[in-house]
Amino acid sequence: MKIRNLTHYRTDDIRAIILPAIRKRLVEVPSGAKPKLYRDLLVKVGYGRRGQVTGWAYLGRVLVPSFNHSGGYMRLALPKERGNLNLEEELAWVAAHEADHVRGLNHKDMTCGGAGRIPGTWEHARTLTLRLKPQPDKTARAASRRDKRRTNARAKVAEWERKHKLAQTKLRTWKRRLKRLDDLS
Ligand SMILES: [Zn+2]
């Protein structure tokens, strides 16, 4: 399973939450499908606008040229703020629902009729936490910008000192030459 995570939530946490929900469904595949389907599953995780976890998936294994991907494909959308949502449980069962689509099921084929939590898909998430990626703090960013400017200024000082020395040498040479010419006349 490959995760393309475009959110500020941690990818390892997303994986820990959705993998148990997905793996089981995509290994226990209906007849005719390949086992271990979850290995070539691509999961794109982004933000949704509705303040809840939503999902979308292609039915069955597909070729997605824009991603240069062949296999199962699902999109999951998370709210930017968790609000009073149980983000972990919601993410788990929505991923399981989409995994059912990936293994070729329509809503009428699903045990719950396609609506709501499927038992056995979200309970593991009760003890898991979806954390935010560490944000580099402002003072650290400002310090690193200052470091870069200092390095650049140091290089400029060295460069102009070199040019300054060269100019002094050239000036001495031409002054000497002029003096000799003046003395001869
Ligand atoms: Zn559905």
pLDDT at 94 > cutoff 90: yes
Ligand 1 centroid from CA 82, angstroms: 22
Q: Which two three-digit tokens encode residue 141? A: 């960013």
Ligand 1 centroid from CA 13, angstroms: 23
pLDDT at 39 > cutoff 60: yes
**Quick one: what percent of the chain has pLDDT higher than 90?**
57
pLDDT tens digit sequence for 20-37: 998 877 765 555 555 556
Ligand 1 centroid from CA 107, angstroms: 6
Ligand 1 centroid from CA 70, angstroms: 21
Residues 6+ apart with CB under 8 A from 33: 61, 103, 104
Q: Kindly report the number of other CB atoms within 10 A of residue 69's CB atom.
A: 17
Ligand 1 centroid from CA 139, angstroms: 45
Ligand 1 centroid from CA 93, angstroms: 11
CA distance 168 to 150: 27
pLDDT at 72 > cutoff 60: yes
Average pLDDT over residues 35-44: 77
CA distance 27 to 103: 9
0.75 exceeded by pTM: no
Ligand 1 centroid from CA 89, angstroms: 17
Ligand 1 centroid from CA 77, angstroms: 14
Which residues on adjacent β-strands are paired with residue 73?
42
pLDDT at 63 > cutoff 60: yes
> Predicted confidence band at 80 (pLDDT cuts at 50, 70, 90)?
very high
pLDDT at 44 > cutoff 70: yes
Ligand 1 centroid from CA 53, angstroms: 13
Question: What is the residue-wise DSSP string for 145-171?
Answer: HHHHHHHHHHHHHHHHHHHHHHHHHHH
Average pLDDT over residues 130-153: 90
pLDDT tens digit sequence for 119-140: 889 999 999 999 999 887 888 8
> Predicted confidence band at 12 (pLDDT cuts at 50, 70, 90)?
very high
| DSSP category for residue 70 | E
Ligand 1 centroid from CA 54, angstroms: 10
Looking at residue 153, its pLDDT comes to: 97
Work out the end-to-end distance of the chain between its first and last CA atoms, rounded to an integer number of angstroms.
90
> Predicted confidence band at 109 (pLDDT cuts at 50, 70, 90)?
confident
CA distance 124 to 20: 8
Ligand 1 centroid from CA 121, angstroms: 15
Distance of CA 125 to the CA centre of its chain: 22
Average pLDDT, the chain: 88
CA distance 78 to 89: 12
Which residues on adjacent β-strands are paired with residue 54?
77
Looking at residue 77, its pLDDT comes to: 97
pLDDT at 142 > cutoff 60: yes
Ligand 1 centroid from CA 12, angstroms: 25
